[in-house]
C-alpha cells in the first residue's frame, strides 16, 4: 500500500516547515510535494549580501533567540549558518533614507521615530 500524498502550497517558511514536519510525522512512505510560484524559496524572508554586510529584506528574520528556531536549524544541519548580528543599531531604509529602528519598550524612540505618522503614533 502506498503512503499518503500531501501537497503543500507555498514555499515560504511556514510552507517549508509544514512539509518538513508532515514528512517527519508520516514517515518516508509519505509523498510530500511543495509548490511555490516564486523563483525562490523562503517567502517574504530574504537576505541580500554585499562584500561588507548582510541586509535582511523580509518583514522578519529568523530570530536566533527563539529556541524552536535554533532547534529546527540544528536538526536540519543549518545551525552553523546562523549569524549573530553585531550589537550595533538597526535601521530601516524607507522613503529614501535610513531610519533607526525604535527600541521595543522605549516610548521615546517610538514617538521620535520618522517611521510612523502622527496618527500612527496615537
Q: 53 and 38, same structural domain?
A: no
Q: 106 and 69, same structural domain?
A: no
How many domains does the chain contain in total?
3
Q: 70 and 102, same structural domain?
A: no
34-53, pLDDT tens digit by residue? 999 999 998 988 888 888 88
Instruction: State the DSSP string of 65-85.
Output: TSHHHHHHHHHTT-GGG--PP
Q: 32 and 3, same structural domain?
A: yes
Q: 82 and 53, same structural domain?
A: yes
**Residue range of the domain that includes 62:** 46-88
70-121, pLDDT tens digit by residue? 888 888 888 777 776 667 777 888 888 888 888 777 788 878 888 888 888 7
Amino acid at each position: 500500500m502506498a503512503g499518503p500524498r500531501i501537497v503543500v502550497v507555498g514555499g515560504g517558511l511556514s510552507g517549508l516547515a509544514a512539509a518538513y514536519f508532515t514528512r517527519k510525522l508520516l514517515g518516508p512512505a509519505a509523498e510530500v510535494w511543495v509548490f511555490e510560484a516564486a523563483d525562490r524559496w523562503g517567502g517574504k524572508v530574504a537576505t541580500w549580501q554585499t562584500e561588507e554586510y548582510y541586509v535582511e529584506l523580509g518583514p522578519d528574520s529568523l530570530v536566533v533567540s527563539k529556541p524552536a528556531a535554533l532547534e529546527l536549524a540544528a536538526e536540519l544541519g543549518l545551525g552553523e549558518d546562523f549569524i549573530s548580528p553585531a550589537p550595533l543599531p538597526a535601521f530601516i531604509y524607507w522613503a529614501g533614507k535610513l531610519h533607526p529602528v525604535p527600541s521595543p519598550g522605549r516610548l521615546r524612540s517610538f514617538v521620535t521615530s520618522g517611521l510612523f505618522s502622527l496618527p500612527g503614533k496615537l
